[in-house]
Amino acid sequence: MKIEKINVLCKYSMRVEDDKFIIMGEGVFSKNDAEDYLELFQKTVKSVDSSNLILIIDNSQFRMSFPDTKLFYEKVCDVYISSDFKDKYIVMPENDIANIQIKKNAKKIFNYIKVISDINTIE
């Protein structure tokens, strides 16, 4: 299973690969992009047996988000945290601005999700 959405400034995908549910986000997210992403994530997670999967959020190519997406960080954190995946990992953005935005607006996520440097470190 693979779902991919391409918008003007951003692109994201969700796929199941072996025992992994991999999310990849790229580019700049607007409020509408963020809302669409969250809705798609929730819908997709309901369609799989997430308790047998490892969640990997690959934000390495995430660039930044517009200021009106601040509430998105809180909502998506809550959804990631409350999801039933057996393990959860995040690859932080290479872009300094995006990295700071996540650390500032989604800091509680780090109590529940382990930071990794590359999705290939999870076997």
Question: What are 6-58's pLDDT values in tens digits?
Answer: 877 889 999 999 999 999 989 888 888 888 989 999 999 999 999 999 999 99
Percent of the chain at pLDDT > 90 equals 34
Residue 84 pLDDT level (bands cut at 50, 70, 90): very high
Flag the least confident range among 73-77, 87-91, 111-115: 73-77
What is the overall mean pLDDT for the chain?
A: 86
CATH number at residue 22: 3.30.750.24
Q: Where are the alpha helices (DSSP H) in 3-95?
A: 31-46, 70-82
One-letter identity of residue 94: E
CA atoms within 13 A on the CB side of 40: 18
Total of domains in the chain: 1
Is the pLDDT confidence value at 106 over 80?
A: no
pTM across the whole model? 0.86
From CA 69, how far away is CA 71, in angstroms rounded? 6
Which tokens go with 85?
Answer: 């995946």
Range(s) of the domain holding residue 42: 2-121
- According to DSSP, the β-strands at 2-6 and 10-17 are antiparallel
Q: What is the pLDDT of residue 19?
A: 94
Q: What is the pLDDT of residue 29?
A: 84
Are the beta carbons of 43 and 53 closer than 8 angstroms? no
